[in-house]
Amino acid sequence: MADNIKFIKGEGIRLYTPENEEYIDAVSGTFNISLGYSHPELVEALKKQVEDLIHVSSSFTGELAQEVLDSILDEAPEHITDGWMRDIIGSTANEGAVKIANKFNGKSEVLSVSLSHHGQTLFTTNISGNAFRRKSFSNTISTNNAVIPAPYCYRCPFSAKGPDCGYLCAEAIHDYAQYGSSGGVSCMIIEPILGNGGNIIPPDGYFKKVREICDELDITLIADEVQTGIGRTGHMFASEYYDIKPDIITLAKGLGGIGIPAAAILYKKEYAVLEKFEHSYTSGGNLLSLTASQKTMEVVSRAGFLENVRASGKILGDFLNKLKEDYGHVIGDVRGIGYMWGLEIVDKDGAPDVDLANRIIDVALSDHKMILRGSRYGFGNVVKVRPALTATQDDIEEIYFRLNKIFSQL
């Protein structure tokens, strides 16, 4: 159905068809339109860059790339002091992070968690925790990497109950390293909030445990902040907010502000091990990406910007919890922070209801002109609500108003 709709204009969280019909995008594209459609400051900076110079080989963009990197590092967790600006998308940034870990510690195996999504190249499909994306591609199945249980408390894979659950999902790292691996686990990659998997927020204490185990086993910890980074949670980095202390952080999506592809890998200084010839792409760190990233950092770092995401995000969370009170028979759980929320859709027995989640998304588009997205590319039962970080309180109210109508209709 979405394939029949064509948009020719956008502003803030709103999109317009050639007939000037207005839609609300409650998920900011695929969570990459962090500053809303056509943010005027980005458009202006990009227009100027297009007029001046669109592309020049990355051999000649080093100075600008370093400036942009510095502006990101200024906001990064304190121990993260260096980085790499030669990527263009999240998938390659994650591949770069794994290369860095492999080269740094001389080991090769990668650990990730079930329901994770780290990209769609052969390798990142391989290390993501979703079999449905691998089904047709035998090259994405490797015995060199492993998926361990996700920290998904609402449906705990061990049926344990917090807060004294013993973090069995984190302890699984020990099990795998000792019994499942070749003895050479190089790194663990994890999203601070499992975005595609269903807006899954690990419990308090989980990341502390993971960090301890990684230290004990000499495993590099990579935080995939492709979705959570650059303000999505109301904090510049989710790693900082959740005190994850990763060795490496990857960024993409929101870094480009208005949908311009941009990516970065950030790390502790001892992880600066890559040679340029080992990881760079023709369009990696191109002038338009760098311009968009620079302006995005300027806007998101401004006084009051993230405070507003936190305050309005709280209001959004309150609205979604109110929906759960009113429609608790189909909304099993509401999870989120900042402008990153998910509604877990359940059937009468509390089991995941994927069909209903997809119906909610379809009805939102067809009857209420609102774009929502589902978890696991339509194979999951979580409906995601993640407006642009520039969404106002009026926008949030409008999203709630339409959601309310959708649930009452269904």
Ligand X SMILES: Cc1ncc(COP(=O)(O)O)c(C=O)c1O
Binding interface with ligand X (CB under 6 A): 89-91, 94, 117-119, 191, 195-196, 224, 226-227, 252
Residue nearest to ligand X (CB): 90
We find the least distance from the C-beta atom of residue 372 to ligand X, in angstroms, to be 16
Nearer to ligand X, 87 or 240 (CB): 87
We find the least distance from the C-beta atom of residue 341 to ligand X, in angstroms, to be 15
We find the least distance from the C-beta atom of residue 121 to ligand X, in angstroms, to be 7
Q: Cα separation of 69 and 120, whole Å?
A: 25
Q: Cα separation of 193 and 224, whole Å?
A: 9
We find the least distance from the C-beta atom of residue 319 to ligand X, in angstroms, to be 24
Rg over CA atoms, the chain: 21
Nearer to ligand X, 107 or 376 (CB): 376
Residue environment code for 73-108, b if the CB has 16+ CB neighbours within 10 A, otherwise e: bebbbeebeebbbbbbbbbbbbbbbbbbbbebbebb
Q: Which distant-in-sequence residues (6+ apart) come within 8 Å of 9 by Cβ?
A: 15, 16, 37, 38
Nearer to ligand X, 194 or 297 (CB): 194
We find the least distance from the C-beta atom of residue 278 to ligand X, in angstroms, to be 19
Least Cα distance to 246 among 254, 234, 237, 233 occurs for 237
The pair of structure tokens assigned to 46 is 């990009």
The pair of structure tokens assigned to 41 is 């400051």
Nearer to ligand X, 238 or 346 (CB): 238
The pair of structure tokens assigned to 10 is 């956008």
Nearer to ligand X, 336 or 398 (CB): 336
**DSSP of 62-80:** HHHHHHHHHHHHTTS-TT-
We find the least distance from the C-beta atom of residue 261 to ligand X, in angstroms, to be 7
Nearer to ligand X, 148 or 226 (CB): 226
Nearer to ligand X, 194 or 334 (CB): 194
We find the least distance from the C-beta atom of residue 250 to ligand X, in angstroms, to be 7
Q: Cα separation of 410 and 402, whole Å?
A: 12
Identify whether the C-beta of residue 128 lies closer than 8 Å to the C-beta of residue 117.
yes
